[in-house]
Amino acid sequence: MTEPMTKDRVLIFDTTLRDGEQSPGATMTQEEKIEIAELLDEMGVDIIEAGFPIASEGDFAAVSKIAERTERAVICGLARADFRDIDRCWEAIQNARRPRIHTFIGTSPLHRAIPNLSQDEMADRIHDTVSHARNLCDDVQWSPMDATRTEWDYLKRVCEIAINAGARTINIPDTVGYTAPNESADLIARLLREVSDSSEVTWSTHCHDDLGMATANSLAAVSAGARQIECTINGLGERAGNTALEEVVMALKVRNDLLPFETAVDTTKIMNISRRVSTVSGFPVQMNKAIVGKNAFAHESGIHQDGMLKNAQTFEIMRPADVGLAGTSLPLGKHSGRAALRAKLADLGFDIGDNQLKDIFVRFKDLADRKKEIFDDDIIALMSLVAETTADDRLQIESLEVVCGTGGPAKATLKMRVDNKSRVSTEQGDGPVDATFRAVRAIHPNQAVLQLYQVNAVTEGTDAQATVSVRLEEDGVIATGQSANTDTVVASAQAYVNALNRLLVRRQKFGPGSDVREVSYKELS
């Protein structure tokens, strides 16, 4: 059960591992999910939605492990309005110190049409499934999916049914990011006013960012009486994403005069978790993203820099340290030792064991041979490399040589291990990256379609590392790979192979012949 509410406390419900991970291509491994859950717990998030246990064996295992290990936060699992879903969810979370079942059904006319249920039939289903969940678990949350496009009378009726059946939290999803701040506030205020026994439950808001209003809509809901915000790190989530945790938490902190509410989040942990989520999900944070973007605290123009030097408050409404950004620090170089690297990693929020340090140190020395100064961003990129590749990867690059220039088509010779057998191929292409990708396909033929190929320089200068993101799609299965290197073509090859490795894992999990099916949370059995 969530702790008793004081009037001005807003609960932070993080759904990075469920709604965030549902974002196409944002698959995380079980270890990555556990690591993120631990960081969320340490950070002071109140409720962690750890996954959707019936979706796959992998999801079930990740939720169970998170439930067993988490110290403080409530651990929540998602379930459709279906007894088997709810039972499976309970099985996964029952060992949590504080378990919660979150069950939902689409209540708008469009969503009611999918399972083809009448209003009355759906109302009965809600009553039965919430009661069933309540028989298993004290803490039950219920959501009418697409609430903001549900007829008022029906929304009121189903909320009352769920409260009567024992739900403790009623979450109001703006599933398609359709609402606007004044409407979001009016809806919550009206629910609080007109739903019978509304004061018996915590009202929650869950917004998507399709029109760029998720943060504003969530805060408006809080001003009107909602006391739980559902959100994700970096705003990760389907389509345009969910409400960004860092935005609502910092808005509540910085504008506490307008929004006099508290959260339990330690904001100094924001940057670290943002980086980790970006790395493990393969979704880079846009440069000018509020709070966690690389430029969020950068002051380039002369007027701004001058003002900042005289008084930081001239152009800064929050201090970089408030979100865990260390001040400018000295770069490392090829003479830096293991201790300096460990200290830097700790500074950047990476808590690593001795074995991992050994591995990272080798990569660090290799980079230092190619690059004079190693900046914080280089180290962060290096850490993302470590997370991307494992000894179990079926495809492993051994060497790559590329010839390119004005003289003719580029030529790439690639040596790669496939299931422990070494193979070589030389291919021509329209430029070095095209030739390299053709060589990968010659060694490992596949039908994957390249959906995204993105290159960013990590720092300045011609010896800067490039981070490359590659997103592939094959038969509806999507996977993203990332890599970083001072050689853009090598980074591209590695990112492409990383994405293929992930695709192979996903295909095994969900593809034809697998024993588990990827369950869409929008479909009702």
CA torsion angle 165 167 170 175 (round to 10)? -80
* Subset of 11-70 contacting ligand KIV (CB under 6 A): 19
Centre a 10 Å sphere on the Cβ of residue 125 and count the other Cβ atoms it contains.
18
Binding-site partner at residue 143 among ligand KIV, Zn ion, none, CB < 5 to 8 Å by type: ligand KIV
Q: Which is nearer to ligand KIV, 261 or 521 (CB)?
A: 521
Angle between helices 354-370 and 338-347 (to 10 degrees): 100
Q: State the nearest-atom distance from the C-beta of 111 to ligand KIV, in Å.
A: 9
Q: Which is nearer to ligand KIV, 206 or 438 (CB)?
A: 206
Centre a 10 Å sphere on the Cβ of residue 152 and count the other Cβ atoms it contains.
11
Centre a 10 Å sphere on the Cβ of residue 253 and count the other Cβ atoms it contains.
17
What order of strands is seen across the sheet that includes strand 466-474? Answer: 449-457, 466-474, 477-485
* Subset of 5-24 contacting Zn ion (CB under 5 A): 19
Q: Which is nearer to ligand KIV, 56 or 143 (CB)?
A: 143
Do the bridges between strand 395-403 and strand 228-231 make them parallel or antiparallel, or are there none, so unpaired?
unpaired
Q: What is the CA radius of gyration of the chain?
A: 24
Whole-number Å distance between alpha carbons of 71 and 31: 17
Residue 477, helix vs strand vs coil: strand
Q: State the nearest-atom distance from the C-beta of 252 to ligand KIV, in Å.
A: 22
Q: State the nearest-atom distance from the C-beta of 143 to ligand KIV, in Å.
A: 4
Q: Looking up tokens 């090829």, which residue turns up?
A: 334
Q: State the nearest-atom distance from the C-beta of 149 to Zn ion, in Å.
A: 14
Q: Which is nearer to Zn ion, 248 or 433 (CB)?
A: 248
Q: State the nearest-atom distance from the C-beta of 506 to ligand KIV, in Å.
A: 21
Q: Which is nearer to ligand KIV, 228 or 336 (CB)?
A: 228
Q: Which residues contact 285 (CB under 8 A, 6 or more apart)?
A: 234, 274, 278, 292, 293, 294
Contact 403, 411 (CB under 8 A): yes
Q: Which is nearer to ligand KIV, 21 or 376 (CB)?
A: 21
Site string for ligand KIV, 105-144 (x = CB under 6 A): --------------------------------------x-
Biggest CA–CA distance in the chain, Å, is 78
Q: Which is nearer to Zn ion, 214 or 468 (CB)?
A: 214
Binding-site partner at residue 145 among ligand KIV, Zn ion, none, CB < 5 to 8 Å by type: ligand KIV
* Subset of 165-194 contacting ligand KIV (CB under 6 A): 171, 173, 175
Q: Which is nearer to ligand KIV, 171 or 436 (CB)?
A: 171
* Subset of 444-473 contacting ligand KIV (CB under 6 A): none
**Binding flag, residue 145, ligand KIV (CB under 6 A):** yes
Angle subtended at Cα 86 by Cα 12 and Cα 97, rounded to the nearest 5 degrees: 50
Binding-site partner at residue 16 among ligand KIV, Zn ion, none, CB < 5 to 8 Å by type: none
Q: Which is nearer to ligand KIV, 175 or 436 (CB)?
A: 175
Q: Which two tokens stand for residue 216?
A: 């504003």
Provide the CA 355 distance to its chain's centre, in angstroms.
Answer: 27
Interface with ligand KIV (CB under 6 A), residue total: 10
Give how far Cα 515 sits from Cα of 106, 340, 477, Å.
Answer: 27, 48, 16
Whole-number Å distance between alpha carbons of 58 and 509: 8
Binding-site partner at residue 20 among ligand KIV, Zn ion, none, CB < 5 to 8 Å by type: none
User: How many CA atoms lie less than 13 Å away from 108 in the CB half-sphere?
Assistant: 15
Whole-number Å distance between alpha carbons of 144 and 109: 12
Q: Which of 206, 438, 444, 506 binds ligand KIV (CB under 6 A)?
A: 206
Q: State the nearest-atom distance from the C-beta of 94 to ligand KIV, in Å.
A: 21
Q: State the nearest-atom distance from the C-beta of 265 to ligand KIV, in Å.
A: 21
Q: State the nearest-atom distance from the C-beta of 194 to ligand KIV, in Å.
A: 22
Do the bridges between strand 228-231 and strand 140-145 make them parallel or antiparallel, or are there none, so unpaired?
unpaired
Q: State the nearest-atom distance from the C-beta of 31 to ligand KIV, in Å.
A: 25
Q: State the nearest-atom distance from the C-beta of 334 to Zn ion, in Å.
A: 47
Do the bridges between strand 202-207 and strand 228-231 make them parallel or antiparallel, or are there none, so unpaired?
parallel
* Subset of 208-227 contacting ligand KIV (CB under 6 A): 208
Q: Which of 13, 60, 104, 437 binds ligand KIV (CB under 6 A)?
A: 104
Binding-site partner at residue 98 among Zn ion, ligand KIV, none, CB < 5 to 8 Å by type: none
Q: Which two tokens stand for residue 9?
A: 């406390």
Contact 436, 416 (CB under 8 A): no
Q: State the nearest-atom distance from the C-beta of 319 to ligand KIV, in Å.
A: 34
Q: Which is nearer to ligand KIV, 19 or 247 (CB)?
A: 19
Whole-number Å distance between alpha carbons of 115 and 87: 20
Nearest one of 426, 13, 84 to 233, comparing CA atoms: 13
Q: Which is nearer to ligand KIV, 206 or 506 (CB)?
A: 206
Q: Which two tokens stand for residue 169?
A: 């939290």
Which residue ranges make up the site for ligand KIV (CB under 6 A)?
A: 19, 104, 143, 145, 171, 173, 175, 206, 208, 521
Which residue ranges make up the site for Zn ion (CB under 5 A)?
A: 19
